[in-house]
Every structure is written in C-alpha cells, then in structure tokens.
Amino acid sequence: MMELYDYPDCPFAQKVRVVLAEKELEYNKIFVDLRTGEHRQNADFLKLNPYGKVPVLIDDEVVVYDSTIINEYLEEEYPHPALMPEDSGGRARVRTLEDYCDNSFLPSAGFVQAELSKPQAEQDAERLQRYRNELARGLKRLEQFLGGKEYLVGGQFSLADIAFIPALLILPRLGVDVDPGLRGVTAWINRLKQRPSVKVLEGEGRIRQSSSGGRASAALRATTQHDERPAPGPCDAAVTDDEDALRRSIIDSYRIVCICNKIRKGVIEKAIRGGAQSFADVQRRTRAGTGDCKAERCGPVIRDMLAKKP
Ligand SMILES: N[C@@H](CCC(=O)N[C@@H](CS)C(=O)NCC(=O)O)C(=O)O
C-alpha cells in the first residue's frame, strides 16, 4: 500500500491528500511531527527527502517528494479520474496556476497566518494588511481565470483547482472575506467545498490546541520567491493533548526495522493492527524479513512487536 509522510496542517500535504481521495487510492499516513524538528536530523527521513519536508509519497519502490511532483506522478500512474486536461496548452495553464499558487498565493496566506499567530500587541498591522490585500488581489485574478467557467482550466476540475484548496479553506481564519462581487470565485469555492475529497480534508481537521495552553500557531511555511520568508518552522505548530506521547510514537514509527527491504516500524505496526497474527502474516503483508539477512535482524524485533500487541 502507498505511504504518505504527512503533517495535517501542511497545505502541500493537503493537496496530495485531495488527489489521493479523488482517485480513491488507499494509503497509509505516516505523521511526521514537524513541531519537534526531529525530521531534520532523522537520517531515514532525509534519505526519502533530502530537503526534510513533507509530503513524501512512497509507492512500492518509488519515492516522490514535492507536492506538485507527487500529484503529477499520481496523475500519470493512476490516470482515472483525469485531473489534467488532454491538450498541452491546458496542461501548461494548470502548471502555471499551480506555480502561482505555491509561490505567491500560499505564501501570502502563510505570512498572514504567521502574523496572527503572534500575540496581538506584537502583530505588524501593516504587514498583515499587505498580505491580506495580496490575497484579495489573487482572488480577483482567479475570477478572471475562471471567466464564468466552473473550474480554472477548461471548465474541468484539475490539479490547478486542487492547488488552491488548502489556502481557500483557511481564508475566513485569516480574516480575508471574499468580495461578494467576485461571483465566479464565490461559486467556485462553494463548488470545491462540496466535493467529497475536500469534505474529507475539512473533516480531518487541525491538530487541536491543548487544554494546557500549548504553543500558538506558527508560520505556514512555504517555498517562496517573495521578498520575505515566513519564520522557519513547521506550517503550523498547534499541539495535541498528549504531545510527548505523540512525538515519541511518530519518530519511532519511521525507524527502519527490516534493513534489507527498508520496511519501517510504522508499516509493521499497521500490518499487526490490520490483523497479522504471526511472523509469516507480517511477511506476507509487508515483505519484512524477506531480504538477504533472512529475518535474522528484524525477526526478533517483529516477534517482540507481535507479542506486545494489545
Ligand atoms: N515545495 C514543497 C514544500 C513542502 C513544505 O514546505 N513542507 C513543509 C510543511 S508545510 C515542511 O515539511 N517543513 C518542514 C521543515 O522545513 O523543516 C512541496 O510542495 O511539497
């Protein structure tokens, strides 16, 4: 089964999750807790993505990182339903819009979110307004792109629409109202929200603030060609109720157990949770222990995991 290295609030990971849902592809989510910073030192994770960022997709032997590239990979490998137009002109328009979203629209949303995450007295009102205006200008531009059509390119739902979904969903939280005069954009956003793939995304929700007060939201981080960059850090540093336990379990879950076939502990745990009862069952489901060392290394670890299963 495919695996997605993921962080719930990461807009880039959300883009990929929408595509996986649209194509009805099953996958295991591996939560990388960006708040800890551990992912930047974790050799196993850096082998998957030398930039140390989510999302990363693993499909059998294929490892792909960068949301736009992952979505193109999924489109080529699993072409139904099509999320790219058939003509090269249309495909170029999709890519242009994705580029605009990733490098301008999304970073503007990130800058607003970064300001709002500060205590009110420390917020830079001018900067906040500048990027809210930037988003408003972006929406106007999208109204022109839509030109009365249902979706951005050729009237067909595509990777271009998907790129904008994560930012569009948080506009109210950023204090950006969509001008009701932008009829096309207003209808487009409502149309997008009706899609089951987007409802799933909303349903997955954010990692909630802990009742103990937790850290405030940090910058929504994005690769950007802007003059300014969001403060370094994960896209959102909200916390769960049991932050430490979550952190430990996540870091542990991407420890490689089967060295020959590079099978991670999280994958074996999933197999055991999914009903694997014996070592042979685990092997069948994950291929762990089928490499050169003939389970000499991973065998005892997997047997121990089986013995300890709840
Ligand atoms: N261009 C990348 C950007 C991915 C990205 O910036 N991911 C952020 C989370 S939203 C990340 O993993 N940051 C971790 C870090 O920088 O340490 C993509 O489209 O996938």
CATH 1.10.10 in the chain, residue ranges: 255-307
CATH classification code of 2-77: 3.40.30.10
Question: What pLDDT is stored for residue 201 in this prediction?
Answer: 80
Percent of the chain, pLDDT > 70? 83
The segment with the largest mean pLDDT, out of 117-121, 133-137, 268-272, is: 133-137
- CATH 1.20.1050.10-classified regions of the chain: 88-204
- CA 221 – CA 131 distance, rounded (Å): 14
CA dihedral 15, 69, 87, 106 (to 10 degrees): 40
What pLDDT, on a 0 to 100 scale, did the predictor assign at position 9?
Answer: 87
Ligand 1 in contact with 166 (CB < 6 A)? no
Neighbours of 38 (CB within 10 A): 16
CA of residue 305 to ligand 1 center, whole Å: 32
The answer to whether 192 and 165 are in contact (CB under 8 A) is yes
Q: Give me the percent of the chain exceeding a pLDDT of 90.
A: 53
Is 105 near ligand 1, meaning CB less than 6 Å away?
Answer: no
Which residue out of 48, 221, 223, 254 has the highest number of ligand 1 atoms within 8 Å of its CB and is therefore the one to mutate?
A: 221
Which residue's CA lies nearest to atom 11 of ligand 1?
Answer: 53
Is the minimum distance from the CB of 15 to ligand 1 under 6 angstroms?
no
Give the lowest-confidence range in 5-19, 27-41, 58-72, 177-191: 27-41
Residue 4 β-bridge partners: 29, 57
pLDDT tens column, 140-194: 999 999 999 999 999 999 999 999 999 999 999 999 999 999 999 999 999 999 9
Residue 235: predicted pLDDT: 61
Atom of ligand 1 at shortest distance to CA of 37? 17
Structure tokens at 150: 């249902």
Minimum CA distance residue for ligand 1 atom 16: 53
Residue 236 CA: which ligand 1 atom is closest? Answer: 10
Residue 211 CB contacts under 8 Å (≥ 6 apart), including other chains? 241
- Give the architecture-level CATH label for domain 88-204: Up-down Bundle (1.20)
pLDDT digit string, tens, across residues 233-245: 456 433 334 445 5
**Element at 74 (helix H, strand E):** helix 67-77
Among the options 10, 101, 258, 260, which is catalytic? Answer: 10
SS (H, E, C) 129-172: HHHHHHHHHHHHHHHHHHCCCCCCECCECCHHHHHHHHHHHCCH
At residue 230 the predicted structure's pLDDT band, cuts being 50, 70 and 90, is very low
Would you state the pLDDT for residue 204? Answer: 64
Residue 212 has pLDDT above 80, yes or no: no
pLDDT at 301: 87
Residue nearest to atom 14 of ligand 1 (CA): 53
Q: Work out the average pLDDT over 209-214.
A: 26
pTM to 2 decimal places = 0.70
Q: For residue 72, how far is its CA from the centre of ligand 1 (angstroms)?
A: 17
- CATH 3.40.30.10 range(s) for the chain read 2-77
- Distance of CA 107 from the midpoint of ligand 1 (Å): 12
Residues 6+ apart with CB under 8 A from 37: none
Q: If you search the block for the tokens 């099953």, which residue do you land on?
A: 26
Tell me which fold the domain 255-307 belongs to: Arc Repressor Mutant, subunit A (1.10.10)
Q: Give the per-residue pLDDT at 223.
A: 27
Average pLDDT on 271-275 reads 82
pLDDT at position 252 is 64
Q: Is 10 a catalytic residue?
A: yes
Check if 107 has its Cβ closer than 6 Å to any atom of ligand 1.
Answer: no
Structure tokens at 42: 């974790």
Q: Give me the residue label for tokens 């420890």.
A: 255
Task: Take atom 8 of ligand 1 and give the residue whose Cα is closest.
Answer: 53
